[in-house]
Structure 1
């Protein structure tokens, strides 16, 4: 067996398959967020409490992906206890971006084979393939060998096994029930479910598309990943992507103090309270060396 055949066995290419459930789900929530919600809000109004609940739930959902699925589970960039791990898994499931196990497997494969056909969401197949088409038009086999460490965690495995129940509970039922506090469940559904999902989903998708298309390659010119301040805003702090691909185990994405990176600040802040620890940080001389070589 040739090396290429071995890799094909370990990392089989995606199988073309239209995922109608996913397409309908995406279309419904986008239609509700873009067309139904503005009309509804114009006629009924949204209270300050409703906006606050929406903002908090959206922030928790987004941070669960960037801080949890990405930096904790996929890259082991820091450590934390079971309570925070549960919260990251719970709110991560609320984004309907698969289980943490699947997410981490595909992301580790993305880093290992970036810009090749074995990259699950390679930008080489186009902006929209990397953004959304890789999910709704293809079936990807999960490589469990590269996430053996995560499979040992019973909480992660439970979320993976009952992925649908976790997602529906945290992503639809609970955010809708929060309408109890404002007395309007329909507003809660439209805002906390539909609008929130459109924001957090596309924020994550922009990491694969925008962050591999626009910006500068400050630390490694051999890959498509790029750094861009707007990308950082669109992706909830994941926009300094060239740095991340060059130093993937670093708990920071925006390495400079002024770089927009909420997960970096939260992870560090929690470390001061001893709630996170073993934060992985690339030595400044290695960063400077990579920047110098790339600029040459």
Structure 2
């Protein structure tokens, strides 16, 4: 059997090599010899944010997973920003990403499988003509083929990529009288940062972090990666609840993409934001905590009575949780339909507050129980 590697994709090799050399070597040399101002930095941050948010909010959460709907203005901006990011068209990107979720970690069916190592999942899969990465027919994106903006960008992607990646630095260079400096900073360095921060989700986010909600795949939650990737670092949550428009589900999670989508809904630019019921999220998190506690107790050969106590506290919290969220559901339903009399509503509110207090207490008992084996 031949062990020769597939042919190189020379265009991709050139783009990745050129952006690396220009961003890492030439840009610092230029800054040292000719200087860069705060204008260069502001333009870099603005262009980097525009291109990456077009990937996270557009390519990923809008088109790949349909977690919300967006009007044509927002979709057009994401299409242009996606071309600026130089990660292929939204149709192509979404098709590969849907295959990734469908076959996550499969050595051959997952386009950028983490099971093949960091280098492969980060960038190696794009450098060679691997047999399982043959040109897709986009059968898994029939819905996107009906989106006129997606198809417009797909058909004119090469032109849009050239116009944005060369045109934007040129215009900024003419405005601020530094064409070469803007090309290096907003063009090359921004592209280098944009590429590798996005690629970290395929590589680092599958090997570095915590499996907070599931261990059925290699995806991890990592707050540091979330900062680098506009909220995409909460990857374990995303792989279990991929139809949620949020990756950082809790209020303290750094997820600018989530905030952007929610903010756009205030102005009618986005709608039908999909979320996972909180009860499902809490159950998944608690089950993983129980599973990890079982493993740690097994490693120290804990006595059966301790194991039984942990399981009892878990079941008690699950019961409290179910009652609390059912009460919350009833309150929300009454708020919409106003089916209860004021007296009945008052009793329901009192019961809801008591259930909230019970759940808070039971959660603390559960935390104390599992903390011993953390």
TM range (shorter): over 0.9
- The answer to which of 257-266 and 206-215 deviates more is 257-266
Contact 1:211 1:231 in 2 (8 A): yes
What corresponds to 2:281 in structure 1? Answer: 287
- CA–CA distance in structure 1, aligned partners of residues 127 and 218 of structure 2: 23
Where do residues 243-282 of structure 1 align in structure 2 (5 Å cutoff)? 243-282=237-276
Per the TM alignment, residue 278 of structure 1 is displaced from its structure 2 partner at its CA by 0.4
Per the TM alignment, residue 230 of structure 1 is displaced from its structure 2 partner at its CA by 1.3
- Larger Rg over CA atoms: 2
Per the TM alignment, residue 163 of structure 1 is displaced from its structure 2 partner at its CA by 1.4
- CA–CA distance in structure 2, aligned partners of residues 235 and 138 of structure 1: 27
Task: Identify the structure with bigger relative contact order (alpha carbons < 8 Å, sequence gap 6+).
Answer: 1
What corresponds to 1:179 in structure 2? Answer: 173
- CA–CA distance in structure 2, aligned partners of residues 79 and 154 of structure 1: 14
- Moved >6 Å (runs of 4+): none
Per the TM alignment, residue 252 of structure 1 is displaced from its structure 2 partner at its CA by 0.5
What corresponds to 2:184 in structure 1? Answer: 190
- CA–CA distance in structure 2, aligned partners of residues 24 and 272 of structure 1: 42
Residue 129 (structure 2) aligned to one of 138, 161, 169: 138
In structure 1, stretches of 5+ residues that fail to align are 1-14
What corresponds to 1:32 in structure 2? Answer: 22
**How high is the TM-score relative to the length of structure 1?**
0.93
What corresponds to 1:42 in structure 2? Answer: 32
**How high is the TM-score relative to the length of structure 2?**
0.74
Residue 111 (structure 2) aligned to one of 120, 126, 130: 120
Is residue 2:62 matched to residue 1:72?
Answer: yes
Where do residues 56-135 of structure 1 align in structure 2 (5 Å cutoff)? 56-116=46-106, 117-135=108-126
Contact 1:203 1:236 in 2 (8 A): no
Residue 237 (structure 1) aligned to one of 215, 231, 235: 231
In structure 2, stretches of 5+ residues that fail to align are 291-374
Q: Which has the higher helix share?
A: 2
- CA–CA distance in structure 2, aligned partners of residues 217 and 155 of structure 1: 37
SS at match of 2:209: coil
Contact 2:73 2:269 in 1 (8 A): no
RMSD: 1.2
Per the TM alignment, residue 143 of structure 1 is displaced from its structure 2 partner at its CA by 4.1
